[in-house]
Structure 1
Amino acid sequence: MGNEKKISIIIPTYNVGKYVNQCIESLINQTEKNIELILVDDNSTDNTVDVINKWKETNENIVLIQQTVNKKAAQCRKDGVLRSTGEYIMFVDADDYLEANACEIALQTIETEAVDIVQFGTKVENFGGVPDSRIKSNENALMPTVERIEGDLLEQCFLERKFSFTIWNKIYNGDLCRKAMLEVEDGEFPKANDLYAAFFILYYAKSYCGIEDKLYHYCFGRGMTGRNRMSLNDYTKCCQSWLVYKNISKFGNPNNKSSFHEVLDNIHERLLNEQLGKLRNNVVSEDREKAIRILMENMEANMFEMIREIAKMGWEFRPEFAKIFRGLPELRYKPKRITNIAFYYRNIKNGGAQRVVANLASEFARLGNGQKYNIILITDEQPQDGEYKIDENVTRVTIPNYLEYSKKKYGERADALYRVIDTYHIDAFIDSMWNIQPFFWDISVVKSHPSHPAVIAHSHSAAGTMWEFKGNAVEETMSSYAMVDAIVVLSEVDKMYWKTINPNVYYIPNKLEKTYNKLPRKKEGQNTVLWVGRLSKEKQPLDIVEVIERVAVFVPDVKCVVVGDGEKEIVDNLRGEIVRRGLEKNIYLAGFQKDVDKYYSEADVLLFTSRYEGFSLTLFEAAAHGLPIVKYEIPWLTFNQCMEGYTTVPQGHVREAAEKIVELLTNSDLWRQQSRLAQDSYNKYDEIDIIELWRKLIDDLQAINDGECEELILLEELKYFHSSLVNQYKLDRKELNDKLQRTYKEKSQINAKLQSTYREKTERGNKIKELKAKLAKKNERIEKMKKKIANREARIAELESEVESMKKKKGVLKKIKDTIKKK
């Protein structure tokens, strides 16, 4: 007992001859001297043991354990701990070192606080030449929680993340540490050995506290951590961390900790996240397919389970994983007889694509003459009122909604989709939701089924529309479309575009439910304009108001019926604009209608204001009813190539659109001519057997071989082109923003000067007003003075007149007196 030390420090070593001297020196020179150093050498092949022995000659507190074979750090730490005698235990990696007073401060804290674990701060030193931001990030991640924590430390560490599980920046209760290390199985654990030991220490520990003092020097970059490129051999070692996970999973949880299984899930996520990050960032691109298999083998997962997990942790990196998945044989379609076909769309209500999917599924279900198919319609939403009708032979299945079950919740959607493929023995999966984030993950899940179904992307929009979307939509769509077994598009333009990515592209236009032969006749005195579609941003419904406002100037009784529904904000804005312009009698919002035929038959003109469309059934339906059309220009539409009876105006030219509508409403001959052209051209279009085109696609898939893309454009080049455009846009935007800021600044300065001038002008104006007011008062006083003077002068004149009168009287009296005297 007298030989027991206060602190045992465990240092595993392997070929660290260049660094171990600094480590040992920092420990020998500790201000706390009651320590033992247990160095466990893992069969080094360099001079590591020689360096240790040299120190051992002059220091009795050094213990050297030499392994005869390489057993990795986990075994070295376990052997060192079980050999230790210290009341407390610390761990130091051989390429790191401690502050001179580290042991003294750590010992004082653990004894004063009476806790099982004390964590201290870490100084990260940059030996890997990495950016300072990364060093700072690591230091922050290693910061202890400066408080006392009691209770379930597994939960506090792994779930609450109050402190890190690194074992080398802490001091532990020795007995607790030795008990925990008995749970660590003997054997090689090349990776996650810190986590392995920490799990059991935290399981048995009951109290923790942290201090801010940075006592540990972590020499970042001396080990493997700082490497950028990773070989398959290194990645294999990295994936062996799953050995640790499996061993921890076998632990019986004797203390019945409630957080146990949640902590296991957290560790699973941490390991997978780390390995997917290394696969993406460190493994070279040509090795990534092999790396995926290495990861699968170590996780003991099949392809579906792998995709399910990758989706949860690598959701945002769809283009990168698409590039990897494309080369995997496990996801490659195997030609077969196709009998069971699944169609997928989010719902079958209120929309052109929804109607197409419902009709297509029904048409396939009704096929006979030896072409019987079992049709499964998959939607996110449960059956509800207002849906398009489907044939009774179509089996309806729902899966979790993509809006709610994405990222970490995607697993539930993946499980449901996989069950559908399995239960109904799906041979071909037709996905019409190409523009949602789960599209890539959904098709990957389908392809991962052992039966290897064919996956068909049914595009309901034009290829160019993806350039409208934010983020990496272009790269993502191209990457996903390169994975599918066939692409169905709605124009020859799109067919040419997607042929650069995938050799199996089919132009199959949409089919209408009915054929219309009766030619309508314009009713005298009726001036009805029809607009049909989902009220959404790209369809520009506010342009309706501007067009009809101009039409009403010339045709006051014009009535525009808007058939369709959409987002509340867009509907409210449209309704508000109608009221603001006083067009309540001219524009009527009919909302969503399942039966649109009566609106077509009662209308005189169709107005079409979309900025972009993939096909637009509305145009064909209007033409089928013999309805003349005034439409915005969308040059790639199939409608333009095969139909007549319409007038095109440039995008956003509401005045020109109004003029064309007025012409049709006021010129019966022109109306009849356009009506006849529209219906005649539709009748020719209706002769196309669209279902036969789909059957040909199915037949081709049953014997399809991998082919080369016509006019091949490498995906990387397109990606680069897109990235260049985005970067140029960012530069242009920055330049414009800078100019805008300068303009704002100049404008602010000018405004400031104007404000100053306005103030001066106002002040001068006020002074002038004051002076005018004073002048007016003075003038008023002068006028009063003038009046007083005038009054005085008048009075003087009166007095003078009176004086003259008195003088005259005086003269008369004098004459009288003189006369009297004479008498």
Structure 2
Amino acid sequence: MKKRKKNTPFFSVIVPVYNNEDDIEKCISSILAQTYDDFELIIVDDGSTDKTPDICDDFAQKDERIRVIHRQGNGGVTAARNEGLFYSSGEYIYHVDGDDWIAEKLLETAKNRLDKASIDIFVFCHVKVLENNQYQKRKLRVEEGLYDKERLKKQIYPWMIFQLDKKGGIDSGSLCDKVIKRKLLQKHYCSDTSLFRGEDCVCAWECLYFADNVYFSEEMLYFYNRLSETSGQKKYRKNLLENEKAIAKYLRSSLKVKEDFEIERQINMLEFYGIVRSIHQEINFHHSFFSSAQLLKMKCKGERDICCYKGMPLKIYPYVLLINHQCFLFLMMCVILKKYIYKLLCIFRGWIIDI
């Protein structure tokens, strides 16, 4: 059994878990296999009803660096992460999801970089593990290196959340590809525990926005498991629309958008695509067009402007207009039509290649 060091650990690794019995062993093992071992591992069991608590407790009995916190009831990943942060003592905080795993050199790589300067956040890259042994790497979208505040303002913040020509920004919005100084995170953690999707991004972007310096690395150090049955991507979320709008509202408040037009523009884009995602969800789960349209209308009842178009590209204006007039049935028909046109083009392209 490894003995805990008397001094404060350099890293606190926080892992929120809920019914992860199929994946948690691999997750914890990847953390304990780190080539740099000055860390504490805080596992927050968020009211699991399967064998997850027992698996975590077994690991804790074998390694004194591990602390397992058992919460009563399922309060959500944000609440679990926040409780882990409250109990943490490391100089830097690192988050790992219970169904994912990390490269064995992650903490050592971070430590080597953090030792060279007083860095608030160390950002790296991740790999999505897909079906049929497929891997999708998220490469760094900026030049690798250290960014002080002025460089962040010029090269990161204007495209941090959204780039106009892409459905995403420079940053992933994930907490799992960032090691964050605890003093910074304690000031800018996510306080809205009702968020169930995108809860990472409100915290990650707020920390980036208020950081004095950030190091961006090309290293691929995190493995995001898209095969897991517990993945939020595979679940129907009845309140997805409300959640997407709550994220936008939270960011408008925390990032003080009235003082930064570029950030306001990006949040407007984020909100728009969040609403579009809600429409796609209804289609993907094969719900009736009419009942889905009525449901979305009911959710938007009384709202004058569902989506703000300020700063958006002109090509998006018609869609914003349709959303604000609650033409959800027409929008869903457009999505389906676009989907079938794309499939026909793919078939046609295949014919040309065969010829």
- Smaller-chain TM-score bracket: 0.7 to 0.9
Equivalent in the alignment of 1:17:
21
| CA distance, structure 2, for counterparts of residue 186 and residue 200 of structure 1 | 13
Return the letter of the residue paired with 1:289.
F
Residue 15 of structure 1: how far off its partner (Å): 0.3
| Residues 1:211 and 2:217 are matched in the alignment | yes
For residue 317 of structure 2, the aligned residue among 401, 409, 420 is 409
Cα pair 2:14 2:84 within 8 Å, conserved: yes
**Structure 1 residues 261-660: aligned runs within 5 Å:** 261-280=264-283, 282-286=284-288, 288-296=289-297, 302=303, 305=305, 407-410=315-318, 414=321
Residue 13 of structure 1: how far off its partner (Å): 0.4
SS in 1 for 2:251: helix
Residue 210 of structure 1: how far off its partner (Å): 1.8
| CA distance, structure 2, for counterparts of residue 217 and residue 54 of structure 1 | 24
For residue 73 of structure 1, the aligned residue among 70, 74, 77 is 77
Equivalent in the alignment of 1:199:
205
Cα pair 2:44 2:80 within 8 Å, conserved: yes
For residue 155 of structure 1, the aligned residue among 158, 178, 181 is 158
| Residues 1:140 and 2:146 are matched in the alignment | no
Cα pair 2:208 2:214 within 8 Å, conserved: no
| CA distance, structure 1, for counterparts of residue 279 and residue 219 of structure 2 | 34
| CA distance, structure 2, for counterparts of residue 6 and residue 284 of structure 1 | 48
Percent identity over the alignment is 19
| Residues 1:224 and 2:231 are matched in the alignment | yes
Residue 221 of structure 1: how far off its partner (Å): 2.3
Gaps of 5+ in 2: 164-168
TM-score by length of 2: 0.77
SS in 1 for 2:256: coil
Gaps of 5+ in 1: 314-404, 415-440, 449-475, 481-715, 739-823
Residue 219 of structure 1: how far off its partner (Å): 1.4
SS in 2 for 1:218: strand
| CA distance, structure 2, for counterparts of residue 254 and residue 120 of structure 1 | 27
| Residues 1:177 and 2:185 are matched in the alignment | yes
SS in 2 for 1:43: coil
Number of equivalenced pairs:
329
| CA distance, structure 2, for counterparts of residue 239 and residue 292 of structure 1 | 15
Equivalent in the alignment of 2:116:
112
Residue 86 of structure 1: how far off its partner (Å): 0.7
Cα pair 1:117 1:171 within 8 Å, conserved: yes
Cα pair 1:144 1:212 within 8 Å, conserved: no
Equivalent in the alignment of 1:121:
125
Residue 30 of structure 1: how far off its partner (Å): 1.2
SS in 2 for 1:121: strand
Cα pair 2:140 2:218 within 8 Å, conserved: no
Residue 256 of structure 1: how far off its partner (Å): 4.6
Per the alignment, do residues 61 and 254 of structure 1 end up closer, same or farther by CA in structure 2, a change over 3 Å counting?
farther
SS in 1 for 2:20: coil
TM-score by length of 1: 0.36
Residue 248 of structure 1: how far off its partner (Å): 3.1
Residue 94 of structure 1: how far off its partner (Å): 0.7
Per the alignment, do residues 46 and 214 of structure 1 end up closer, same or farther by CA in structure 2, a change over 3 Å counting?
same
SS in 1 for 2:21: coil
| CA distance, structure 1, for counterparts of residue 159 and residue 35 of structure 2 | 32
Residue 45 of structure 1: how far off its partner (Å): 0.4
| CA distance, structure 2, for counterparts of residue 258 and residue 237 of structure 1 | 26
| CA distance, structure 1, for counterparts of residue 176 and residue 117 of structure 2 | 20
1:241-277 C-alpha deviation (Å, 9 max, x unpaired): 3333333334473995554423432331342243333
Cα pair 2:244 2:275 within 8 Å, conserved: no
Equivalent in the alignment of 1:56:
60
Return the letter of the residue paired with 2:267.
L
Return the letter of the residue paired with 2:281.
K
Cα pair 1:117 1:173 within 8 Å, conserved: yes
Cα pair 1:4 1:86 within 8 Å, conserved: yes
| CA distance, structure 1, for counterparts of residue 300 and residue 252 of structure 2 | 13
| CA distance, structure 1, for counterparts of residue 218 and residue 183 of structure 2 | 25
* 4+ residue segments displaced more than 2 Å: 140-145, 147-156, 159-163, 184-188, 223-227, 234-264, 272-280, 288-302, 409-412, 729-735
Per the alignment, do residues 115 and 191 of structure 1 end up closer, same or farther by CA in structure 2, a change over 3 Å counting?
same
| CA distance, structure 1, for counterparts of residue 277 and residue 350 of structure 2 | 36
Cα pair 1:242 1:299 within 8 Å, conserved: no
Equivalent in the alignment of 1:248:
251
Larger Rg: 1
1:107-159 C-alpha deviation (Å, 9 max, x unpaired): 11122243211112223222x459x4xx43xx236767523333335434214
SS in 2 for 1:240: helix
For residue 105 of structure 2, the aligned residue among 101, 106, 122 is 101
| CA distance, structure 2, for counterparts of residue 204 and residue 27 of structure 1 | 28
Cα pair 1:42 1:72 within 8 Å, conserved: yes
Return the letter of the residue paired with 2:316.
K
Residue 166 of structure 1: how far off its partner (Å): 0.9
Return the letter of the residue paired with 1:284.
H
| CA distance, structure 1, for counterparts of residue 248 and residue 147 of structure 2 | 26
| CA distance, structure 2, for counterparts of residue 224 and residue 4 of structure 1 | 33
| Residues 1:187 and 2:193 are matched in the alignment | yes
| CA distance, structure 2, for counterparts of residue 273 and residue 164 of structure 1 | 19
Return the letter of the residue paired with 2:231.
M
**Structure 1 residues 744-759: aligned runs within 5 Å:** none
| CA distance, structure 2, for counterparts of residue 170 and residue 47 of structure 1 | 29
| CA distance, structure 1, for counterparts of residue 109 and residue 186 of structure 2 | 22
SS in 2 for 1:39: strand
1:412-443 C-alpha deviation (Å, 9 max, x unpaired): 9x5xxxxxxxxxxxxxxxxxxxxxxxxxx69x
Per the alignment, do residues 56 and 178 of structure 1 end up closer, same or farther by CA in structure 2, a change over 3 Å counting?
same
Return the letter of the residue paired with 2:250.
N
Return the letter of the residue paired with 1:191.
R
Per the alignment, do residues 66 and 299 of structure 1 end up closer, same or farther by CA in structure 2, a change over 3 Å counting?
farther
Cα pair 2:45 2:69 within 8 Å, conserved: yes
Cα pair 1:15 1:44 within 8 Å, conserved: yes
Equivalent in the alignment of 2:166:
none
Residue 40 of structure 1: how far off its partner (Å): 1.0
